[in-house]
Amino acid sequence: MTRRRWIADEVLGNRAFLKGDHARHLAQVLRAKPGQEFDVATGSEVRRGKIVSIAADRVEFDLSEVLRETTRAEITVAISIFKFDRLEWAIEKCTELGVSRIVPVIAARTEKHLAQAAPKRAERWRKIAKQAAEQSRQAAVPEILDLLELPEIVRNQAGVRIVLSEAETSLDLKDALPPNTSSLTLAFGPEGGWREDELAAFAEAEWISASLGPTVLRAETAVIAAVAVCSLPFSTLRKHLRRGDRVTRRKATELS
């Protein structure tokens, strides 16, 4: 049976801790007891953890063998704020797909009332991400940054930088991806898309402009579709997709 995974709130050497509501859920709802074993994610790896003590708001684990290390490329998604219910769905699914960082952004066409309310939502978004990370058995929770203005995103991101644009007609996202990269940032516009001056700013900062195809997707659908393409863990599979080969499920499984 697969052991449940918990993401530690604190790690000190070979000890890991759950705190607050996180600990209360394990102790009071699930009625865990000392001696039970779980997978514990520390942020850099997943280790086997045995409960050594339980208090009302603190559970302590003794960590032993390493089960998995985190080696995947870092993916940052910069998402222009849109309707909160849909944005929260996108945050949850991005987490399940293994992104490293989520940056909420104010763009020119971001609705003013959403921009004003967004800072109060940050802790809720972090809670959603943490729950989704544990459910999907991730080794770490994606970092969710405080709300940023678009110029800060355009100037400050490192690595391969791709802006998704409906105006792009010559380059698909799957063709824009380098075969191997350790750091990738994807930028997504709000409902209504990027303004021309924003796309010009991305171009001036040497971002790659790419498309998800001829169809017009909802903002949250575009985010998930793009992250799914970029999350493919094997460059061989990406090569097949670029070449236009038909990759069956069986073939994709063999490649993985």
Q: CB–CB of 239/179 below 8 Å?
A: yes
Each residue's pLDDT tens digit in the chain (256 positions)?
567 888 888 899 999 999 988 888 888 888 889 999 998 988 778 889 999 999 888 999 999 988 865 556 789 999 999 999 999 999 999 999 999 999 999 999 999 999 999 999 999 999 999 999 988 888 888 999 999 999 999 988 778 999 999 889 899 998 998 877 778 999 999 998 999 999 999 999 999 999 998 888 999 999 999 999 988 643 334 444 444 444 333 333 343 3
Q: Return the pLDDT at 224.
A: 95
Q: CB–CB of 95/133 below 8 Å?
A: yes
Number of folded domains in the chain? 2
- Is 252 part of a structural domain of the chain? no
- Put simply, whether the predicted model's pTM sits higher than 0.85 gets the answer no
- Is 104 part of a structural domain of the chain? yes
Tell me, yes or no, whether 51 and 153 share the same domain.
Answer: no
- Note the maximum CA span of the chain: 60
Q: Return the pLDDT at 71.
A: 55
Q: Which of 69, 91, 106 is the last residue of a domain?
A: 69
- Is 249 part of a structural domain of the chain? no
Bridge partners (DSSP) of residue 53 are: 60
Give the residue numbers spanning the domain of 111.
74-242
**DSSP state at residue 244:** T
- Is 206 part of a structural domain of the chain? yes
Q: Which of 30, 50, 69 is the last residue of a domain?
A: 69
Q: Return the pLDDT at 68.
A: 66
- Is 184 part of a structural domain of the chain? yes
Tell me, yes or no, whether 52 and 114 share the same domain.
Answer: no
Domain of 60, CATH number, reads 2.40.240.20
Q: Which of 52, 69, 86 is the last residue of a domain?
A: 69
Tell me, yes or no, whether 58 and 118 share the same domain.
Answer: no
- Is 87 part of a structural domain of the chain? yes
- Pairwise CA distance, residues 174 & 169, whole Å: 13
Q: Return the pLDDT at 14.
A: 92
Tell me, yes or no, whether 60 and 147 share the same domain.
Answer: no
Q: CB–CB of 132/96 below 8 Å?
A: yes
> 45 exposed, middle or buried (CB, 10 Å; 0-12, 13-18, 19+)?
middle
Q: Return the pLDDT at 136.
A: 86
- Pairwise CA distance, residues 140 & 160, whole Å: 22
- Is 254 part of a structural domain of the chain? no
